[in-house]
Amino acid sequence: MNDATLAQVAARLRDAQAVFALTGSGISAESGLPTFRGVGGLWHNHRVEELASPEGFARDPALVWNWYNERAAVHRRAQPNAAHHALAQLEARVPHFTLATQNVDSLHRRAGSQHVLELHGSLREARCDRCAARRALADEGLPLDAIAHECGGRMRPDIVWFGESLPLDVWRAAELAAAHADLILVIGTSAIVYPAAALATQYNPRAFVAEINPEDTAISERVDATLRSPAAQALPALIERAFG
Ligand code: BJW
């Protein structure tokens, strides 16, 4: 990690009245969770786009639930890492702090972040695709014999799939926070999935945008600073440098 860049972003953080943080699956990599596209985006030879889509669910609901049940179990066993904890600390330190995540793993909440905008939903609940009835997911996820709901619909994960709209209230809150931020932190996302990626660079031409990611991303050329480092190293270092 470049020390001059760390100092530059830390100075912005110290002075910021409003910070907007956007996270993706890379922030949970050091908790042992796989990123989406890191290992080719495959699960048992199925493409992620095929599983995380209404068409995929209509084709084979049991296959899709097997994937989510397996992931839910892995999420439960995982622990929040130093990056999740650092963002929870920032929420308490910065006058106006908003955290929006694309992740469905609940690790920000478990790290103590109080207000998390979950842009793509969460894996805590299932909901009926016909009557919208909800049920909490148990440790083993949703039993496959509970997919059929009594109203004739199907229970599905409470997740935003490709081609679906984000929850409007969550999206509006994220747009507003991005538009009013002095500093935008973009952490652990390839920034290729829209509309979430637009929050990083398209809602606020005044904000200083800093990316935290060990790799180049779709927005790297458009950000003001890049910390090329795993989030669990960069975020604690950033807070230490900004607030001592
Ligand atoms: C580390 C690290 C470490 C590794 N530290 N970093 C405009 C243009 C083109 C297409 C579209 C567009 N607008 C909409 C679309 C269509 C589509 C889309 O964006 N497609 C793109 C793929 C091109 N978007 C949608 O369909 C969205 N809906 C929508 O727009 O509704 C309106 C509409 C309706 C009808 C038709 C059209 C539009 C919905 C998107 C929902 C995405 N859902 C998923 C799956 C569900 C959740 C789940 O199952 O968990 O969400 S897809 C998947 O990608 C998941 C993620 O949240 C999301 C983002 O991925 P993420 O987190 O960035 O992961 P990776 O793997 O890509 O990147 C990881 C990064 O971490 C890498 O950069 C690593 O380097 C880094 N990293 N270790 C820090 N230690």
Query: What's the pLDDT tens digit per position in 12-29?
Result: 999 999 999 999 999 999
Q: What count of Cα atoms within 13 Å lies in the side-chain half-sphere of residue 140? A: 4
What secondary structure letter does DSSP report for 119?
T
Q: State mean pLDDT over 153-182.
A: 97
Nearest-atom number in ligand 1 for the CA of 157 is: 49
Confidence band, pLDDT 50/70/90 cuts, at residue 37: confident
Residue-level pLDDT at 25: 95
Question: What's the Cα-to-Cα distance from 48 to each of 23, 57, 84, 161, rounded to whole Å?
Answer: 19, 12, 25, 10
Whether the link from the prior residue into 61 is cis, omega within 30° of 0, is no
| Domains of the chain as residue ranges with CATH | 1-33+80-120+165-244 (3.40.50.1220), 34-77+123-159 (3.30.1600.10)
Residue-level pLDDT at 181: 98
Find the 196 Cα to ligand 1 centroid distance in Å.
Answer: 7
User: Is this model's pTM higher than 0.85 or not?
Assistant: yes
Lowest mean pLDDT among 14-28, 31-45, 178-192: 31-45
Is the pLDDT reported for residue 66 higher than 70? yes
Find the 150 Cα to ligand 1 centroid distance in Å.
Answer: 32
Confidence band, pLDDT 50/70/90 cuts, at residue 116: very high
Residue 195 to residue 97: CA distance in whole angstroms: 21
**Phi (first) and psi of residue 35, to 5 degrees:** -80, 170
Q: Which two tokens stand for residue 217?
A: 């991303």
With a CB cutoff of 8 Å and minimum separation 6, the contacts of 105 are: 28, 31, 33, 75, 78, 123
| Residues with a CB atom less than 6 Å from ligand 1 | 24-27, 29-30, 35-38, 52, 102, 104, 120, 159-165, 188-190, 192-195, 213-215, 217, 230-231
